[in-house]
Structure 1
Amino acid sequence: MCGRYVLKREDLEALVKQFGLRSLEEFHSRYNIAPTSLVPLIRKREPGRAELAGVRWGLIPAWTKPDAPAKPLVNVRAETLLTRFRGALRSRRCILPASGFYEWQDLGSHKQPWYFAPADGQPFGLAGVWDTWHGPAGTELETCAVLTTTPNQVLARVHDRMPVMLTPDQCSRWLEDELDPAAAQELLAPTADAWLTATPVGPAVSSVRNDGPECLTPAPPPDQLSLGL
């Protein structure tokens, strides 16, 4: 799954520039973005026109009854897009700009957080979907979820799922006005092992109250923290 991620301001600026957009002036680097946060995402609400919007992370599908909202979906399995989320695949795809993300390794006595990021240090996009939920009294709430897929070799020892990571070029393909299902499946595959680095980090990230650079402080690398790669 993907439940926490990092977005540095310079990486947001680099990705939005690719789509001819301006960054959010009020956005500052975030090092521990958690579900229910308002997150910046890139989407196309109209053909040929990209926009940057702030949307709540935790998808409430439009079909959810107004008087009984379901538990928000932080992640959506990529395998379900052609069944449960066909409408989202067709017209509500989005990109969540990112610098890296975290997963926790169960070591028995405790869970060790790991930070995963592209080996080249470049920003990437978390593939996602969004929707508008209509609540009581005519209220509207825009929400989103991160898509997950099977893990590559780097991440498989920590978790059985990983977020769909898209390079800048793949971000443009994911947001094409019309995306063939076969092309979508190609983009939703796990990223190449060589493109991903894994770094054990300290316990600061385990608390959502911490959202500074200290979340990326490397942890001592004893043998039991090795991913065996």
Structure 2
Amino acid sequence: MCGRYSLYSYKTTPEDFEEIYGFPMTAVVDFPPTYNIGPYRDVPIILSDRQNQPYMRLAHWQMVPSFAKEFKSKYAMFNTRDDSFDQKPFWRKLLQHSRCIFPANNFFEWAKVGGQKMPYKFERSDGKLLNIGGIFSIWRDEQQRDIFSASMITVDANPVVGDMHGRMPLILPEQDVRSWLDINRTDAAELRTAIRTFPGDRMTAAAVSQSVNNIKNDSPEMIKPLA
């Protein structure tokens, strides 16, 4: 499960993202440095348009199915387990046709230490962005406006994350991002091969301030490792 993350080294132009990923983006969105992002808010995602050109837009971080009568979900759907794609046609169709990326600098998980919840941040050892694989849905309101929502895919945790939690986000290497976003790639079995656990030896963990526990707190203090 992943219910909190940070995005603070945010790039502001398509050219910046091309430098990261090696492909152009037709649009980006403004998003301030944010250190304590929780579900049920609008966050940046990267997806492809009908011409198969990657772009960025805001989406609600909590999946709302397109067939829902109103824009809300009865269940927590900000995460989607990878095994859901094997069991449920609804999720499999989204994997085939509605994939996205959540750019992130780190995510948080909690450990129980002396009866208290101690937050830890997890990030890549090389300091690069986490390219968290996700799926999205489009819900249409009464004015026929498209409203996007999205969910992060989770996989079995690697040894670094596994000390805190049995699940972790799907993290894609930069070289796999363009292929993940390719709308012509629709074979579910083949796509499942791209869903695998990011190596633990390429990640680090650090205890951070318990201020992270309160979603209202949002400052660089959230990601400062404790001495």
Give TM class, smaller chain: 0.7 to 0.9
Q: Which residue of 2 aligns with 1:37?
A: 41
Q: Which residue of 1 aligns with 2:149?
A: 143
- State the shift of 1:51 in Å: 1.6
1: distance between equivalents of 2:175 and 2:45? 16
TM-score by length of 1: 0.86
2: distance between equivalents of 1:77 and 1:12? 31
2: distance between equivalents of 1:135 and 1:100? 33
SS at match of 1:191: coil
1: distance between equivalents of 2:45 and 2:154? 17
Percent of residue pairs bearing the same amino acid type? 27
1:4-83 → structure 2 map (5 Å cutoff): 4-10=4-10, 14-15=16-17, 18=21, 19-21=23-25, 22-24=27-29, 26-66=30-70, 69-82=73-86, 83=88
TM-score by length of 2: 0.87
2:212 to 181, 205, 209: 205
* Counterparts in 2 of 1:111 and 1:146: CA distance versus 1, 3 Å: same
- State the shift of 1:89 in Å: 1.1
SS at match of 2:55: strand
2: distance between equivalents of 1:113 and 1:90? 34
2: distance between equivalents of 1:34 and 1:12? 22
Per-residue CA shift, 1:93-129, capped at 9, x if unaligned? 0001111110111235111101000001111211011
Match for 2:8: what amino acid?
K
1: distance between equivalents of 2:178 and 2:170? 14
2: distance between equivalents of 1:15 and 1:29? 16
2: distance between equivalents of 1:5 and 1:67? 23
**Aligned partners of 2:63 and 2:73 also within 8 Å:** no
Q: Larger deviation: 154-163 or 56-65?
A: 56-65
**Aligned partners of 1:16 and 1:42 also within 8 Å:** no
2: distance between equivalents of 1:164 and 1:157? 17
Match for 2:225: what amino acid?
P
Match for 2:209: what amino acid?
G
- State the shift of 1:57 in Å: 0.5
- State the shift of 1:135 in Å: 4.8
1:157-196 → structure 2 map (5 Å cutoff): 157-179=163-185, 180-196=187-203
**Aligned partners of 2:9 and 2:105 also within 8 Å:** no
Paired residues in the alignment total: 219
Q: Larger deviation: 198-207 or 15-24?
A: 15-24
SS at match of 1:42: strand
1: distance between equivalents of 2:18 and 2:84? 28
- State the shift of 1:142 in Å: 1.5
Q: Which runs of 5+ in 2 are unaligned?
A: none
Q: Which residue of 2 aligns with 1:226?
A: none
Per-residue CA shift, 1:20-50, capped at 9, x if unaligned? 12543x3221111111121111101314222
Q: Which runs of 5+ in 1 are unaligned?
A: 221-229
Match for 1:27: what amino acid?
F
- State the shift of 1:12 in Å: 7.1
Q: Larger deviation: 161-170 or 14-23?
A: 14-23
* Counterparts in 2 of 1:68 and 1:60: CA distance versus 1, 3 Å: closer
1:54-133 → structure 2 map (5 Å cutoff): 54-66=58-70, 69-82=73-86, 83=88, 84-107=90-113, 109-133=115-139
- State the shift of 1:140 in Å: 4.6
SS at match of 1:170: helix
